[in-house]
A and B are shown apart, each in its own frame.
Chain A
Amino acid sequence: MFRLARYRDFDWVLLGFVLLLSLISVLEIKSATLHTKFHGFEQKQILFLVVGVVLMFIVSLIDYHRLVDISPYAYGVSIVALIAVKLVGTKVLGARRWINLGGGVHFQPSEWVKLVLIIAIARYFWGLVGKDLTWPDIGKAFALVGIPMALVLIQPDLGTTLTYLPILIAGLFLGGLKLKQAGIILLGVILVGGITWKSGKRLKPYQQARINAFLDPDTDPKGSGYQIRQSLIAVGSGGIWGKGTNQGTQTQGDFLPIPYTDFIFAAFCEEHGFVGAVGVLLLYLLVLMRLIQNAQTASDLPGAFIIMGIVAVIVFQIAVNIGMVLGLMPVTGIPLPLMSYGGSSILFTFLSLGIVMNIRMRRFVN
Chain B
Amino acid sequence: MDLAPQSESRTTGPVNREEKISPGKLTMAQYIVAGILTILVAGLWRLQIVSAEGYRVLAEANRVRKVPVLAPRGRLFDREGRLLVDNYPSVTCYLLREQVKDLSADLPIIAQGLHIPVEQIHATLRRFQLAPKYQPIPLKQDITPDEQAFIEAHRNELPELETLDEQRRLYPRDGFAAHLIGYVGEVSEQMLNNDSRYAFYQPGDVVGRSGVEQTYDALLRGTDGSRDVIVNSHGKEVGSLGQTLAKPGQDLKLTIDLDIQMAAEKALEGKVGAIVAMDPHTGEILALASRPTFDPNQFSVRLTKSYWNEILSNPDHPLLNKAIQAQLAPGSTFKIIMSVAGLQEGIAQTMHVPCNHGATFYGHYFACDKNHGMVDINNAIPWSCDTFYYTLANRLGVDTIAKYATSVGISQKTGIDLPDEVAGTMPSTAWKLKTQHEKWYAGEVISVGIGQGAITATPMQLARALGGIASGGVFRRPHVIFPDEITPEELSAVHDSFPGSGEKTIELAPANWQIITDAMAAATVTGTAGASHLEGIDFAGKTGTAQVMSHDALARSGGGHRTVPNAWFVGMAPRRNPDIVVAVLWENGDWGANSAKLGAQIIDAFVEKQRKRDSNIRIAEVPKPAVPAEQRPIQPGTPVSSQPALLPTQPRKATTTAGLRPAAE
Contacts and interface: CB of A to CB of B under 8 A. Distances in A.
Contact of B19 (A79, A236, A299): A299
A234 B40 contact: no
Given A253-B232, A292-B26, A299-B19, A71 B41 contact: no
B55 A232 contact: yes
Contact of B43 (A223, A311, A328): A328
- Judged by DSSP, the binding face of A is helix
A350 interface: no
Contact of A295 (B21, B45, B46, B133): B21
Contacts of A238: 48, 52
A305 B5 CA distance: 15
B561 interface: no
A107 to B, nearest CB: 21
A143 B43 CA distance: 35
Contact of B1 (A79, A253, A285, A289): A79
Contacts of B41: 278, 281
B233 A300 contact: no
B59 A233 contact: yes
B238 A221 contact: no
Interface string B216-244: 00000000000000111110001000000
B199 to A, nearest CB: 30
Contacts of B510: none
B4 A253 contact: no
A240 interface: yes
B58 A315 contact: no
Interface string B1-42: 111111110111110011111010110011011101101110
B238 to A, nearest CB: 7
A240 B5 contact: no
B44 interface: yes
B197 interface: no
Contacts of A79: 1
A126 B9 CA distance: 12
A235 B44 contact: yes
B47 interface: yes
Interface stretch (A20-28, A181-189, A318-326): A318-326
Nearest to A141: B3
A90 interface: no
Given A143-B3, A292-B33, A278 B25 contact: no
A123 B26 contact: no
B19 A300 contact: yes
A210 B4 CA distance: 36
B48 A273 contact: yes
B59 A140 contact: no
- Judged by DSSP, the binding face of B is helix
Contacts of B60: 249
A254 B99 CA distance: 11
Contact of B39 (A143, A269, A285, A328): A328
B350 interface: no
Nearest to B13: A300
A94 interface: no
B557 interface: no
A277 B48 contact: yes
A146 B362 CA distance: 109
A274 B62 contact: no
A177 to B, nearest CB: 11
A304 B10 contact: no
Interface in A96-136: 120, 123-124, 126-127, 129-130
B305 interface: no
A230 B349 CA distance: 90
Contact of A253 (B7, B10, B44, B63): B63
Contacts of A239: 48-49, 52, 56
Nearest to A275: B48
Contacts of A292: 26, 29-30, 33
Contacts of A289: 30, 33
Contact of A124 (B3, B56, B98): B3
Interface string B440-463: 000000000000000000000000
Given A221-B133, A236-B56, A124 B19 contact: no
B13 A173 contact: no
A308 B21 CA distance: 10
A173 B56 contact: no
A173 B25 contact: yes
Given A120-B4, A143-B3, A239-B49, 11 more contacts: A79-B1, A126-B13, A173-B25, A222-B98, A236-B59, A277-B48, A281-B40, A296-B23, A304-B20, A319-B36, A328-B40
5 contacts: A127-B10, A234-B59, A239-B56, A240-B49, A301-B13
